[in-house]
Chain A
Amino acid sequence: MSPATPSQFGPPKPAPVWLGWGAFLFFLFTQVYAVATSPADAMMGHLQKMMYVHVPAAWVTFAAFGVVLVASLHFLWKEDERADLLAASAAEVGSLFCGLTLVLGMLWGRPTWGVWWSWDARLTSTLVLFLIFVGYLSLRSFVEDPHRRGQWSAAVGILGAINVPIVWMSVRWWRTLHQIQSNPRGLSPEYLRGLLLNLAAFTLLTIWFIWRRYEAARYERAAEHAAQAAALGDNNG
């Protein structure tokens, strides 16, 4: 089977602008709703409200890196450049949310643990995950040949995504400052509603971010391909 190249797959299906703004407005609504309707926690006070940004940011980080895993495997199997561009788009968005998760975790850690950072298993494995994907994005900017870039970054992307279950399980496998995952059945409804709504809003925003980034990446790659074809045409002519 011959690999799909930009000349074969044509222009991308555009991500609707209304979906982006709609997701952002829904996100703002869910944030205000969660903050306004959840009472101060008996132990944590208002700090509990950080759950509505920190937990969804971590969730979409894992989801985005899951997309990287699937798209990277697809690229290695089918050699379809679209899968490589999708993996790169998801990696960029996932890295953004991973960085945000780390910063929000530090803002949580300072008042609750008394420190901004601790080298415990959850925090350290999340930092490693972030650095792997920063490396993934740097690698892509260094390698010019699209096929080799796709293969190398797929290998790094799969390696990085394998780290996700380690991050998830780290609070159970090792003794950590970070609490273990909350069980939704153990949360009071006034907290659970806000959390679920924010999970939905962050997921919608992430879908739109990845879609839009993928659209841009497809156009960038197609433009690169058209420029190469034009240059070859000039040389042959």
Chain B
Amino acid sequence: MGSQLENGGISYVVASYVITWVVLGVMLVRLLGAARRAKAEYDQAAKGEFRT
């Protein structure tokens, strides 16, 4: 524990930022695609082309 704080715990800090950026970046890209796909599906259904 002591040695982890002696180097300032930099590896933990880096890990926390990398995880945060990846999670939020993936969420951003996923949501951009999700709304676009849902709209296309809706347009298709509204035209009566959609059948379940």
Residues of A within 8 A of B (CB): 11, 14-15, 17, 20-21, 24, 27-28, 31, 35, 40, 44-47, 49-50, 53-54, 57, 93, 96, 100, 103-104, 107-108, 110-112, 114, 205, 209, 212-213, 215-220, 222-224, 226-228, 230-231
Q: Which of A49, A93, A100, A227 contacts B13 (CB 8 A)?
A: A49
The reply to whether A40 and B32 form a contact with Cβ atoms under 8 Å apart is no
B26 to chain A, nearest CB (A): 10
Q: What is the total number of residues of chain B having a CB less than 8 Å from a CB of chain A? A: 37
Interface residues of B in 18-49 (CB under 8 A from A): 19-21, 23-25, 27-28, 31-32, 34-35, 37-39, 41-42, 44-46, 48
Contact partners of B42 in chain A: CB under 8 A: 11, 219-220, 222-223, 226
The reply to whether B39 and A226 form a contact with Cβ atoms under 8 Å apart is no
| Contact A107 to B15, CB < 8 A, known contacts A47-B9, A209-B31, A226-B46 | yes
The reply to whether B20 and A57 form a contact with Cβ atoms under 8 Å apart is yes
The reply to whether A213 and B34 form a contact with Cβ atoms under 8 Å apart is yes
The reply to whether B20 and A213 form a contact with Cβ atoms under 8 Å apart is no
